[in-house]
A and B are shown apart, each in its own frame.
Chain A
């Protein structure tokens, strides 16, 4: 399969891992954060820790939209689904995220009309084919998914579709990275930069990391070879005493980003003054809301959502895990009270969440030798 197989080629992977092993400074410990949940998933899915030297530690970052969504926002979205005249639509990723009174899947089983869509445009189509009902799209995601929400809203306006709205939870990655860089316990050496987000934003927004914090950033794709190559590039920068932004994912990421997508974001969205991130708390100018021009399609304006803030259970240490201070298994609840079937913290919900990935893929897997088939 093109764009997949060549990035999983055992010979190429071996070459890169050998080069990493040759390039690392043996006396040094490397802590590299992969910003994106997609990277976290891929690292576990492909068992990449097994092929890296022991002194490279991968720290899982905040780039999982489901994981950083606070419980209160889930409750707000589900309160919209409880209205008889509403069809709530969301990505599959959201279906198992618990609110205070249950997950979207549980609400659906109890009778709420909640449907999974692959794209917000499908939600708009649903609105057009159900004119007697209101279709609300529970929008989540970073700059990766925000442009498709923006385009959908623009299309709804162009077509005059009035029975459609968006419950906007889009967030932006840079303020979260800055929050992590500014957090007191921060001991990171470099970043595997968010590949999907960068297809939209380009690489320039990450220059502050290199400039202000002197940490290398390598924007990377999601296949094993992409991630390993990015780690090699970070190690080489560190060895040379450099801190630059590099683009490993140049096959999809233009340095200056996707101008059409950025223009759509600019037209439809404004920055919220602040927004709550699960585990990280309130971060200023870190999330998007619909501009007043688009009020008719803004679910928060249309429906009086409760807007209650729900604190996470005290024992859950999601924030520490999100910031990379704790590893998933070091959380007190990991694996016992909090597991993928009964997630307490959101990091256990999405398969991109550090805890769910660790639970699914890492449990004692390292004990097994490769199969001799």
Chain B
């Protein structure tokens, strides 16, 4: 089928109000973007609705992306809003096959915010940018009245040059391809959930926020042409990212549930709270679909990168059941793995 013939199904947005679920990264977020926002701006670059917008500028292939950060609490074990704002945008570019070249940052600050808090976040951003090898070249600041935002919001815009080693296209995904994951999932989402202090649970978990570019770079060197698709599974987790892929590429993904890397603490918290780790947000992991022949070499390359020791082959692409993600257990049970609906809520009663 020619690419132009493949139309994304039209999404209607009829919700009367914006609810928290519209920001949770699952089905409702998708409806908001595809049903209300994107149609008004429709153009060929936007219509791909990928993590980064890619286009040519003076013969150079460019990727751009922007992301807003509203995190409570501002600091949490393993990271802070400033660090997320840098890594998140660097990662959106990285999984689009682009190394970040420059970032811009906009701060929305609440009157009354302690300067020390802002100073700490600016320092965290500078350090994260240095680690990622990217410059923050501009931005804006706005101050709103006390009570109008949670201390501070940050948005970052990033621009990068697309790495010619990759030819990423979700529609190039084929049955037989393997699903690779860079490491243990869920630690960011669980860290934030616990750091809010509402659940009165304690666990030694830390956010995994980091730049994934070193992994992407290594993958490019090892087998760039065999990489079909990459994504950082942030809000909505691995389940949502893979569901988006199967919908775009009309394939099925069968995950080997026992192969999905998961830390003991995250697993314990998920078991206790009735949450599915596949729905929990990550800020320093990425998923790649790699041609079967290249998968062993790709996995070995990922595991050789510091911090990539936990990388795993977690499943494969199949033709059927098309447009579904299925989990298979070690003892022969299967289940459909859907996108996240709304925020993950603890199951108690």
A residues in contact (CB < 8 Å) with B: 1, 4, 8, 10, 13-14, 17, 41, 44-51, 65-66, 91-93, 95-96, 105-106, 108-110, 115-119, 122, 140-142, 144-145, 224, 340-341, 350-352, 359-373
Contacts and interface: CB of A to CB of B under 8 A. Distances in A.
Contacts of B170: none
Interface in B306-349: 313-316, 318, 320-321, 324, 326-336, 338, 341-342, 345-349
A239 B274 CA distance: 35
Given A10-B330, A350-B347, A363-B336, A105 B20 contact: yes
A109 B19 contact: yes
Nearest to B345: A92
B199 interface: yes
Nearest to B276: A45
Contact of A118 (B20, B201, B276, B341): B201
Closest 7 CB pairs of A and B: A47-B333, A92-B345, A373-B256, A141-B349, A92-B346, A361-B335, A370-B328
A368 B324 CA distance: 10
Nearest to A140: B349
Nearest to B338: A360
Contacts of A105: 19-21, 342
Contacts of A144: 349
B155 to A, nearest CB: 22
B200 A66 contact: no
A2 B314 CA distance: 24
Contacts of B321: 364-365, 367-368
Given A118-B199, A368-B321, A351 B347 contact: yes
A35 to B, nearest CB: 15
B267 interface: yes
B345 A95 contact: yes
B75 interface: no
Given A46-B333, A47-B334, A371-B328, A109 B348 contact: no
A140 B347 CA distance: 12
B254 interface: yes
Contact of A116 (B17, B198, B313, B333): B198
Interface centre among A109, A224, A359, A368 (most CB of B within 10 A): A368
A47 B349 contact: no
Given A141-B349, A341-B28, A368-B321, 20 more contacts: A1-B264, A47-B327, A92-B346, A108-B20, A122-B200, A142-B349, A145-B348, A350-B347, A351-B347, A352-B347, A360-B338, A364-B321, A364-B336, A365-B321, A367-B321, A368-B254, A368-B318, A368-B334, A373-B313, A373-B314
